[in-house]
Every structure is written in structure tokens, then in C-alpha cells.
Structure 1
Amino acid sequence: MTQASRSKRVSGSARADLVISLLLVAAAVALPFLVDSRYVLGQVVLALFYATIASQWNLLFGFSGIFSLVQMAIFAFGGYVTAMICFYFGWNVWAALLPGALAAVVFSLIIGLACLRLTGVYVALLTLAIAQTMYLLIVTDTECFTMVGSICRQFTGGAVGFARFGDLGTRALLKGQWLVGNYAIVAALFAVTMTFTYVIVKSPIGLAFRALKDNPGYAVARGVNRFQAQLLVFGISAFFTGLAGGFYAAHFQAIGPGILSLSQLLFIIAIAVVGGVGTFWGPLVGTVVLVAADELMREMGEFRTLGLGLIIALSVILMPKGLVGRLGDLVHWLRHRNGTAPKTKFQENPAAAGK
């Protein structure tokens, strides 16, 4: 592929991403006017949280090759710090969100320093152990830290967690329409997260991340510092994941250790796998598919989990690249069939094939 055809393909991809983004913005603006059900709108807000977390896990694994299983722990850490600042110091939630996100970054960098010297499955095992240790430390916290009225509260909230420490202010401002306000805030958070992720992926830093994933030896030989680059992507991912955790706690006005359950982590990974690991729009597509499927099977009882497992299994077997990857292959096939695919240098100049 020549430089001109490569540039044409990149610009075409950027235009497609821009069109998709504009359509999504239009759909996001129209959604509150089209949906009357508070339950449905609440599920959309929850899905946006899932998509945000999955997009940052995809940045770690899909684009950088770091198979971390600590993503929900970072999400919970950001939410817990935000809730604890509000609960113990009486801060406004909006003032506590940034410290919560920065605390999640510090937490992730400590984890990174501990595990990024490792590779592959060892990173996964160590990060999973850290997440499970965090869960156990919270649920086994029974020591009285402070008295709230006549109730003794643990430092981490223990198995109960924290509740009613503040909200995003939409209840007082919008009254009965507060959920629409929260939806707008969470949708804006998702949009900012995806925009920043897109800039990172398309930048020279993102190229270094992908090089370390595809061919670490070659990337290091070309001057990429593997440890520094992977620590950087760990911190970037943690900032938006921790920020989403703070917004999650503020939206529900509660946060507890249940968010650290293994099922939550596996659901996030399944979202990325079904949508397409290493594709920009994969986490969003995977969220739409799995959340919709989960809702449709809600009345199926124990078969609900079986149905989700079947969808994930079929996706892995039939679409290893995920839905977005399969769609990309289909578009590429149609272009070749119609003769619009970019030509190689031998197709452009047959005489070159004999040289």
C-alpha cells in the first residue's frame, strides 16, 4: 500500500468516526424525549458506566496489551474515595470527584510499579489478587472508626458501604426530572472519555502502546521505554475509570463492596470481547448488545446467566474480532468486491512485479 492510499484510508476512517460520533450525539440528545420510562433511562445510565469502564479496559488490553484484572478495583477506589471525602469532611460531591480520580491514579501507579515488570498471565493473576484483597479488606472491616449518632461506622463502611453522602445536585435543581440531568452528566462523561481515548490512540503515544502490544522487542529496539509507556497508559486509564467511579457513587448515592464482585469484572471483559477488543467502538457496541440481552432475559430466572454465557461463547467462536471487527471485515470484503479497495504497488504498476 502506497503512502497516498494509506493516507486516504486513514482520512476515510477519521470521517467515518466523525459521522458515527455525530449520530451518537444526536441520539443521546433525543433519547430523553423519546423514552418516558424512568427504569429504561436508569438502565441507559448504568450502561454508560459499563461502556466507560470497558473502554478504559480496552485501552489497557486491546491497544496496549496489558491483561489487567484490576479495573473494577480502580473504579471502586475512585468511588470510595469520593464517598469518603464527602462523608468524613462534608465536601460537595463535585469538589470530591477530582481528588477521587487522582487517588485512583495513585492507586493504579502503585499497582503498576508492582506488576508491570511482569508479563502475560502473571499480570492478570497479580492484579486479580489485588482486587480480591481489596474486597476482603473492606468486607472484613469491623473496627469502629467513628460514631454517627448511635451507630458505629467502620472506616471503609464495611460490608454496608456508604450511602447518602451527597449527590450531583440535580435532585434539588431539576426536582422530578433529576434522572434526565444525571443522564446528561454521565453521557457527557462518556463522551469526554471516548474523545480523550481517541486522541490518545491516534497520537504517537498510542502508536507506541500498539507497538508494545504487537511486537515488544521491535518497539524497545526503536527506543520505546516499555515500563514507562505501560505505566503511563495505566495511569490514563485509571483517571477516567476512577472518575467514573466517583460519578457512579454520586448517581446512586451509595457505594459498597458488591461492586468488586468477580461477576462485575467478567461482565466488563465480556462487553469488550463481544464488541471487539482493540477496536475503538467495540466497548460501546458490546455494552448495547449485552445490556439489551440481559434486560430481555430478565424474566428467565436462572437461564438468564446461561443465555448471556451462550451469547459470549458464540461471539468468541464465530466472531473472534468481535462485532465491530466482523463489521470491518465485511466492509473490507465489499470494497474488494466492488473494486474500490486501495491497490498495492504491484497492482498500480504491474511492471514493478518483475523487478
Structure 2
Amino acid sequence: MSKVLNKRNGIIAVLILSLLFPLAFSDNKYVLYIMTLAFIYIIAIYGMNILAGYTGQLSLAHAGFFAIGAYSVGVLTTKAGLNFWLALLLAVLITMGIGFALGIIALRTKEHFFAIYTLIAGYLIYLLIYKWEGLTGGVRGLIGIPIPNAIGPIEFSSSIAMYYLVLFFLLLSIFVTVRIVHSLTGRTYNAIRNSEELAQTLGINTKLNKLVSFVISVSFAGLAGGLYASLVRFIGPEIAGTTMVFTFLMYLIVGGIGTLTGPIIGTMLFVWLEQYLQSFQEHRMLIFGPILTLIVIFYPRGIVGAIQSLRGYFRTRKKESSKSYTTNSESTDMKSREV
């Protein structure tokens, strides 16, 4: 009971801090912008985690789907003149539709072949955005993407309003992820990750479940991309590039792949670390690369996995010490009786 209460108290504390954060930095728009951007990335990483962490399928096209969501909102608002909310909904649906089409083919492959195929698919998305100047603006990108339309009296022209809007979608994404992970669907994904052959023998339709997981994953990316477009208001083809793929992967692996809090910790850590290392932006991969390598070697489940392992270790030691204490006390008691 105490564990549940501690966990619940921790969640409430983090939520309260998130809600109060803009009040502490109301005069610093840059800090609010960086935090809002981090929230958007976290939404995308949660989608990546559902597929890679819980289903065991590493997609390297996630940045491409992020870009599809962003460009869908950009094109639909600037060229088609649609309302932002309708454009965002259509962006998620378009991303899911393209993900469904690519997933049908991609999921015929397994393991590293799947990763290679999705890497190629992601690069093709990048090339399409780069070359299709009439629609995407090519290398110039899209400029002047509007902010979200007002909902009644609520407007989103300020940094604080955008912060709370993205926070709402982040909390919604976390809620959906938790519901999936702790449901029968989540246990099915874990079974596929642990052994696809064994899952098939248990009667699980692995192809269908992997496809559904893939579509759910890209829907998170499409949502994050659409929010990114409205926040930045300018997008270019680089958001679909391999650097973005590596960045997303780094956030997930360092935080903890296959964990619920890993995407938050990994993204927050590196987003703010990049801000403190702005003078080394050109060489940031020389710094982040070794960190990622060491974590992959020594802590494959990232920071959260390492903390969980340490907890398990100390719990085991505590149980062993309590058992030894009980045994020693019993032997002492027996000796005293004999005397």
C-alpha cells in the first residue's frame, strides 16, 4: 500500500511542478519554448517506445513520420487554409494511413532487416520532402505556419498558452501509453518482443498486433510533428533526416527503452544538456556518442533500467541480511536453551 501511495504522490508532485513551471518562468520565453519543445519530443519518443520497447520492433523511420505530421499541418494550414485543429486531426490520420501502408510491407521482415527497411523508408520520406518543392517548399521549407486557433475565449498566442496546450497532449499521450502497457494488448506486445515464435504457438496473431503497434507508434509521431509545426512555425526537410532519427533513438535508449518514464528522463536530460553545450553544437555527437555507447554496453535499459536494477539489488541484499539475522537469532536462541 505504501508503495502505491509513494508512486501516486510522486506522480502528483511532478504534475504540480509541470503546472506551476510557467508561473516561475513567465518572463523567460526561451525557457518556456525549450520546455514545450521537449514535451513535443517526449510525445514522439513515447510512440517510438511502444514499438521498440514493448513490441521489439526498432523503426528508424520515426523521424520521417514526425516530418509527415509536421508537413501535413503546414501544408493544410498555409496552402489549403484549413483550421489548425482540423489540420492536426488530418495530419494524424494521414500519418497513420502512410504508416499502415508502409507497415504492411515492413513487418514482413524481422529484426535488423526491419530496421534497415524502415531506415530506407525514412530516407525516402526525407528525399520526397526535399525534392517536392511545389508542395513542401523543398530546401526552403514552409514558413508562416499559424498558431492553433482559439477555443472560445482561450487563445494560444502566448508562450504560456502553448506550453499548457502541449502539456495537455503530453499527459494524454502518457495516459494512452499506460493504458496500453497495462492492458491485454500490452502483454501481447511483450510476448511478441520476448519470443515471436512462442507467441504464435499461443495463438497470437503476431503480424496483426505488430501492424497495430506500428500504426499507434506513428500516430504519436504525427501528433508530435503537428504540434512542432505550430510551435516553431517554420519547418524544413532536416526534421526527417538521419540526425533526427539518431536524436530520437538517443533519447529513448539513454532514458530507458521499454520503461514508462524513460522517454521523459532521456529527452529532458539531453534537451537541457544541449542548451548548456550550445558552444559545442557542431561537435555534440562527439560528446553524446560515447555516453550512448557506454549506456548501451553497461545499462541496456537506460537510466531508468539502471535505477530499477539497483533497487532490485538492494532489496535482495536487504532480504538476505534479514534472513541471516533471523537465522543467527534462532541459532543463538537454540544454544541458550541447550545451556
TM-score (norm 1): 0.84
Quote the residue 2:23 is aligned against.
Answer: 33
Query: Residue by residue, what CA displacement relative to the aligned partner does 1:13-44 show, whole Å, maximum 9, x if unpaired?
Result: x6555333222211111111122421111111
Confirm or deny: 8 A CA contact 2:51 2:58 kept in the other structure.
yes
1:244 aligned onto 2:224: yes
Q: Which secondary structure does the structure 2 equivalent of 1:339 belong to?
A: helix
Quote the residue 1:145 is aligned against.
Answer: none
Residue of 98, 108, 115 corresponding to 2:99: 108
Measure, in 2, the Cα distance between the counterparts of 1:193 and 1:176. 20
Query: Residue by residue, what CA displacement relative to the aligned partner does 1:56-99 show, whole Å, maximum 9, x if unpaired?
Result: 11110110011111111111111211221112321111121111
Q: Which secondary structure does the structure 1 equivalent of 2:54 belong to?
A: coil
1:193 aligned onto 2:184: no
The number of residue pairs the alignment matches comes to 321
Measure, in 1, the Cα distance between the counterparts of 2:143 and 2:167. 23
Give the CA deviation at 1:314: 2.5
Counterpart of 1:20 in structure 2: which amino acid? Answer: G
Quote the residue 2:79 is aligned against.
Answer: 88
Cα RMSD, aligned residues only: 2.4
Confirm or deny: 8 A CA contact 1:139 1:159 kept in the other structure.
yes
1:283 aligned onto 2:263: yes
When residues 238 and 340 of structure 1 are mapped into structure 2, their CA distance, relative to the original with a 3 A threshold, is: farther
Give the CA deviation at 1:300: 3.1
When residues 186 and 176 of structure 1 are mapped into structure 2, their CA distance, relative to the original with a 3 A threshold, is: closer
1:205 aligned onto 2:185: yes
Q: How does 1:176-187 map to 2 (within 5 A)?
A: 178-187=158-167
1:141 aligned onto 2:121: no
1:263 aligned onto 2:243: yes
Identity of aligned residues (%): 29
Quote the residue 2:51 is aligned against.
Answer: 60
Measure, in 2, the Cα distance between the counterparts of 1:315 and 1:123. 23
Confirm or deny: 8 A CA contact 2:46 2:220 kept in the other structure.
no
Residue of 32, 38, 51 corresponding to 1:47: 38
Counterpart of 1:162 in structure 2: which amino acid? Answer: L
Query: Residue by residue, what CA displacement relative to the aligned partner does 1:138-167 show, whole Å, maximum 9, x if unpaired?
Result: 21224xxxxxxxxxxx12222222221321
Quote the residue 2:9 is aligned against.
Answer: 19
Measure, in 1, the Cα distance between the counterparts of 2:118 and 2:129. 17
Query: Residue by residue, what CA displacement relative to the aligned partner does 1:203-235 show, whole Å, maximum 9, x if unpaired?
Result: 001100010000111111111101100011111
When residues 48 and 123 of structure 1 are mapped into structure 2, their CA distance, relative to the original with a 3 A threshold, is: same
Confirm or deny: 8 A CA contact 1:212 1:219 kept in the other structure.
yes
Measure, in 2, the Cα distance between the counterparts of 1:16 and 1:322. 23
Quote the residue 2:197 is aligned against.
Answer: 217
Q: Which secondary structure does the structure 1 equivalent of 2:295 belong to?
A: helix
1:338 aligned onto 2:330: no
Measure, in 2, the Cα distance between the counterparts of 1:222 and 1:53. 32
Counterpart of 2:24 in structure 1: which amino acid? Answer: L
Confirm or deny: 8 A CA contact 1:51 1:283 kept in the other structure.
yes
Give the CA deviation at 1:173: 7.1
Give the CA deviation at 1:175: 8.3
Confirm or deny: 8 A CA contact 2:64 2:241 kept in the other structure.
no
When residues 41 and 159 of structure 1 are mapped into structure 2, their CA distance, relative to the original with a 3 A threshold, is: same
Q: Which secondary structure does the structure 1 equivalent of 2:291 belong to?
A: helix
Measure, in 2, the Cα distance between the counterparts of 1:100 and 1:301. 31
Measure, in 1, the Cα distance between the counterparts of 2:283 and 2:99. 36
Confirm or deny: 8 A CA contact 1:293 1:308 kept in the other structure.
no
Q: Which secondary structure does the structure 2 equivalent of 1:62 belong to?
A: helix
Measure, in 2, the Cα distance between the counterparts of 1:300 and 1:255. 23
